[in-house]
Amino acid sequence: MWQGHELFLSSLPKLVPYIPVTLLCFLAPTAVSLVLGTLICRIRVGRKNALYYITSLFVSFFRGTPGLVQIFLFFFGLPKVFELFGVNINGWDAVVFYIIATCCNFSSFVSEALRGAYEAVDKGQIEAGYSIGYTRFQCFYHVIAPQTLQIALPNLKNLEIDLLKGVATAYVIGAIDVMGAAQRIISQHRGYGQIWILLAAAALYFVMNVVIEAVFNFLTYICNRHERVRI
Amino acid sequence: MPMVELKQIKKRLGGEDVLNGVDLSVGEGDVVVILGPSGSGKTTLLRTINFLNPADSGTVTVGGLTVDSAKHHHKEVLALRRKTGMVFQNYGLFKNKTVLRNITEGLTVVRKIKKEEAEKRAYELLEKVNLADKAGAYPAELSGGQQQRVGICRALALSPEVILFDEPTSALDPELVGEVLKTMKAVALTGITMIVVTHEISFAREVADKVVYMEGGVIVEEGTPREVIDHPKDERTLRFLRSILEDSMDYMI
Ligand SMILES: Nc1ncnc2c1ncn2[C@@H]1O[C@H](COP(=O)(O)OP(=O)(O)OP(=O)(O)O)[C@@H](O)[C@H]1O
Ligand SMILES: [Mg+2]
């Protein structure tokens, strides 16, 4: 046992180089979902046309099935789909498949968080925007988006934290992030002292989460300025 | 030529006819007060003018621009909205923006006026309503009366050709009604065209050039304040005026 913490300390520098991969698997879906999630949300609060039903199906699939299953489906399924068009993507890194699957999954969750928030925006604010002559885009950009985001922030924060922790599942398809690297070290040690190596990985995820939480708390602080009144 | 002209405005809402062919003509610089019982369609009518809630049929003319409610293009609607301002019952200030930004937003975003110039204009308006010292405050920090005065400034900032007021004082505590009415009187004196839905009979009497009485989605009676308020011809107008005058009597006791 007394050697455990040494293993913990010696694994840390071996895991740290994989933090960028973890961050990539976290930031790429975050960025994509801001755009894709907003688009899906926009479609789902609008008229019930074909696009509405297609996106609804998309959202229910990705929200209703386990992320782990989706990762495998993309990892094994996507090359088959590309094969139909004569493109071979078997050489792609597993990280790419993880990111594509997660972008779809995460955008679905983000779109639902945004939709709930949009519905909670006071419609009087939107009308006030139109009354001073805003175009639809100006109203979206200056009134709807900031207020929707403010309402959605607590939910988004929870989703982002889950997203980061979820990256740990990427190793199942062979993507090497912090968790994947930890698994590798464990097998090099033939399973010996795996708890300490896993704890090292846990510590790194924890630190990254603390940063994410701080960023979101800061955003919330800024967005809620107007509610901290000085009366 | 009238500044605002409504022709045969009709609208159904929730399976009911809310507006049954309203015709209204408002001259340039006139103040028109619309009276009527709850549910008579006053708010609905006002919102068909700037197409926040377009009528099913009928035409709306503001400052020479005529838009057909039945087939309107969003560009026409935008142009029409940019000729009108609106003051809301619940103030409708952007709650995440300061008083100053509430007023300058329309100028900088819609009119593309430089920020400094927009702020100068905003301060001029705020001075007039004695709120220059609140420029940096958020709406939640203001009383209802102060918020409504800012709402009036926001509408005025864009120099619209007509301002629509939907019961601007009815959400206010009684002691705050006076300050808002005073501001509205000052606005009326500047010669801007105003259409005001209100239950403040004294305001109608003092400021209105024309009083319109609505009931059941039609205009029952219109004329000068003297004609409509003091000598109503229609039974329904009389009954309505009596009821609100009685209410205010109760209030005094
Ligand atoms: N969105 C809606 N759906 C269905 N019916 C509506 C809707 N909005 C208004 N109505 C109905 O239209 C009628 C007119 O409403 P409106 O708000 O214009 O009345 P009002 O004269 O402004 O009344 P108040 O003095 O209470 O403000 C009412 O009978 C109301 O129930
Ligand atoms: Mg009303």
The residue among B105, B134, B143 with the most chain A CBs within 10 A of its CB, best to mutate, is B105
Is any Cβ of chain B less than 8 angstroms from the Cβ of A137? no
Q: What pLDDT, on the 0 to 100 scale, is given for residue A190?
A: 85
Q: What pLDDT, on the 0 to 100 scale, is given for residue A4?
A: 75
Specify if B24 maps to a domain: yes
Q: What pLDDT, on the 0 to 100 scale, is given for residue A71?
A: 95
pLDDT in tens, B76-90: 999 999 999 999 999
Task: Say whether pLDDT at B57 is over 90.
Answer: yes
**What rounded mean pLDDT belongs to chain B?**
92
Q: For chain A, list the domains and their CATH numbers.
A: 4-230 (1.10.3720.10)
Specify if B119 maps to a domain: no
- Please compute the mean of the pLDDT values over residues B3-30 and round it to a whole number: 94
Q: What pLDDT, on the 0 to 100 scale, is given for residue A2?
A: 55
Specify if B199 maps to a domain: yes
pLDDT band at B253 (very low <50, low <70, confident <90, very high): very low
CATH classification of the domain holding B56:
3.40.50.300
For A49, counting Cβ atoms within 10 Å of its Cβ (0-12 exposed, 13-18 middle, 19+ buried), the class is exposed
ipTM: 0.92
Q: What pLDDT, on the 0 to 100 scale, is given for residue A5?
A: 80
A132·B155 Cβ contact <8 A? yes
Is any Cβ of chain B less than 8 angstroms from the Cβ of A123? no
What are the Cα distances from residue B192, in Å, to A121, A182, B28? 33, 73, 8
Residues in chain B: 253
pLDDT in tens, A115-135: 999 999 999 999 999 999 999
Q: How many domains is chain B built from?
A: 1
Atom 27 of ligand 1, residue of closest alpha carbon: B38
- Please compute the mean of the pLDDT values over residues B132-160 and round it to a whole number: 94
Is pLDDT larger for residue B243 or for residue B253?
B243
CB-nearest to B105 from A130, A142, A227 is A142
Looking at residue A120, its amino acid is: A
- Minimal C-alpha gap between A117 and chain B (Å): 15
Specify if B118 maps to a domain: no
3-state secondary structure labels for all residues of B98-167: CHHHHHHHHHHHHCCCCHHHHHHHHHHHHHHCCCHHHCCCCHHHCCHHHHHHHHHHHHHHCCCCEEEEEC
Q: What pLDDT, on the 0 to 100 scale, is given for residue A25?
A: 93
- Please compute the mean of the pLDDT values over residues B225-249 and round it to a whole number: 86
Q: What pLDDT, on the 0 to 100 scale, is given for residue A77?
A: 93
Specify if B252 maps to a domain: no
Task: Say whether pLDDT at A149 is over 60.
Answer: yes
DSSP H/E element including A9: helix A4-15
Atom 6 of ligand 1, residue of closest alpha carbon: B13
Q: What pLDDT, on the 0 to 100 scale, is given for residue A80?
A: 92
Q: What pLDDT, on the 0 to 100 scale, is given for residue A191?
A: 76
Specify if B140 maps to a domain: no
pLDDT band at B249 (very low <50, low <70, confident <90, very high): low
- Beta-ladder partners of B13: B16
Of chain B, the percentage scoring pLDDT greater than 70 comes to 97
A193: three-class secondary structure by DSSP: coil
Near ion ligand 2, which residues have CB within 5 Å? B 43
B73: three-class secondary structure by DSSP: coil
Question: Chain A residue closest to B159 (CA)?
Answer: A132
pLDDT band at B1 (very low <50, low <70, confident <90, very high): confident
Q: What pLDDT, on the 0 to 100 scale, is given for residue B248?
A: 63
Task: Say whether pLDDT at A109 is over 60.
Answer: yes
∠ CA B131-B135-B139, nearest 5°, is 90
What's the pTM value of the predicted model, to 2 decimals? Answer: 0.85
Task: Say whether pLDDT at B251 is over 60.
Answer: no
Specify if B158 maps to a domain: no
Is pLDDT larger for residue B249 or for residue B74?
B74
pLDDT in tens, A157-180: 999 999 999 999 999 998 999 998
Of chain A, the percentage scoring pLDDT greater than 90 comes to 76
Which residues of A fall within a CB distance of 8 Å from B82? Answer: 133
A131·B155 Cβ contact <8 A? yes
Q: B11 lies in which domain range? A: 4-39+46-89+164-245
B85·A128 Cβ contact <8 A? no
Q: What pLDDT, on the 0 to 100 scale, is given for residue A230?
A: 58
Task: Say whether pLDDT at B233 is over 70.
Answer: yes
Phi, psi of B65 (to 5 degrees): -100, 120
Lowest mean pLDDT among A34-43, A85-94, A101-110: A85-94
Specify if B105 maps to a domain: no
- Beta-ladder partners of B6: B24, B60
- Ligand 2 centroid vs B47 CA: distance in angstroms? 10
Nearest partner of B147 among B165, B125, B172, judged by Cα: B172
